[in-house]
Amino acid sequence: MRSTLLPLLPVAAASVVPRQYFSFGNYFSTGPTATGTFIIEATTTLVLPALNSPHNGNLGLWPGMGMDDGDLVQGLAISTVGVGSPCNLVASEVKWCVTASTLEENQEDGAVFKANPGDKVTYLSSGRGGLGWGTAMECQQANCGTVPTHHYLDTKLTMSAPNPNYKNTLALNGASGNLVTADGGTTWTVADITVNQYTYT
């Protein structure tokens, strides 16, 4: 399996997707942090599953961090087909598009890379200001069909100061994973986040 590292940093190319259909699936979510503290670094590795079936719509699997200024920093794995797709011009192509992104008033994406199901993509974000972190399964444009079970490995959240009760912020929807700390809440880890199969209707 190939591994790719994508830093989640401010990026350049604007990307706006029409949202005739818009729906979220299963997730693993944490936050907010304790008052006056922040997530200063977050890293996770997404093992890319098979593409959604049928292969339509604009599907994004992403880990993301909400910032204290209201921005959202994301690592995206996108499954979309047809004109405008940098990875799959026809439905018979089965690549993921992986990129880093920030969502302010508009969404801005970085360079896009093609990746195969089974590849591992590591997303790293650092800097002051993270209030919460989680994963998402997002469908736009048209019904995205069934999304297979997938995994985020070796997730690590580093706080600016101890957050001993951060585990109590965990919210799960069709997902599982044990959020643990070995240092009183400065560093939180999850060995395996499993996001269950989900079918859009």
User: Average pLDDT of 92-105?
Assistant: 85
Residue 3 is predicted with a pLDDT of 52
Of 24-28, 54-58, 188-192, the range with the lowest mean pLDDT is 54-58
**Is the separation of the CB atoms in 49 and 117 below 8 Å?**
yes
Q: What is d(CA 63, CA 134) in angstroms, rounded to the nearest whole number? A: 6
Give the pLDDT band of residue 121 (cuts 50, 70, 90): very high
Q: What is d(CA 151, CA 175) in angstroms, rounded to the nearest whole number? A: 10
Domain segments of the chain as ranges? 3-199
DSSP code string of 13-46: EE-----SSEEE--EEEE-PPPTT--EEEEEEEE
Give the pLDDT band of residue 92 (cuts 50, 70, 90): confident
Residue 136 is predicted with a pLDDT of 97
The three-state secondary structure class of 169 is helix
pTM to 2 decimal places: 0.89
User: Average pLDDT of 57-75?
Assistant: 92
Residue 52's alpha-carbon distances to 62, 112, 126, 146, in angstroms, are 14, 19, 30, 5
Q: Which residues contact 92 (CB under 8 A, 6 or more apart)?
A: none
Q: Phi and psi dihedrals of 179, rounded to 5?
A: -90, 115
Q: Closest by alpha carbon to 54, among 103, 113, 94, 26?
A: 94
Residue 16 is predicted with a pLDDT of 39
User: Average pLDDT of 87-114?
Assistant: 84
Verify cis geometry, omega within 30 degrees of 0, for the bond prior to 32. yes
Residue 11 is predicted with a pLDDT of 32
Q: Closest by alpha carbon to 51, among 152, 119, 134?
A: 119
Residue 61 has pLDDT above 90, yes or no: yes
- How does DSSP classify residue 51? P
Give the pLDDT band of residue 108 (cuts 50, 70, 90): confident
pLDDT tens-digit series, residues 8-24: 433 333 343 445 688 99
C-alpha 24: how far from chain center: 12
Average pLDDT, the chain: 88
- State both tokens at 132: 């919460």
User: Average pLDDT of 179-193?
Assistant: 98
pLDDT tens-digit series, residues 123-146: 999 877 899 999 999 999 889 999
Q: What is d(CA 180, CA 191) in angstroms, rounded to the nearest whole number? A: 9
Q: Closest by alpha carbon to 188, among 4, 201, 161?
A: 161
**Taking the CB of residue 12, how many other CB atoms lie within 10 A of it?**
9
Highest mean pLDDT among 32-41, 68-77, 103-112: 32-41
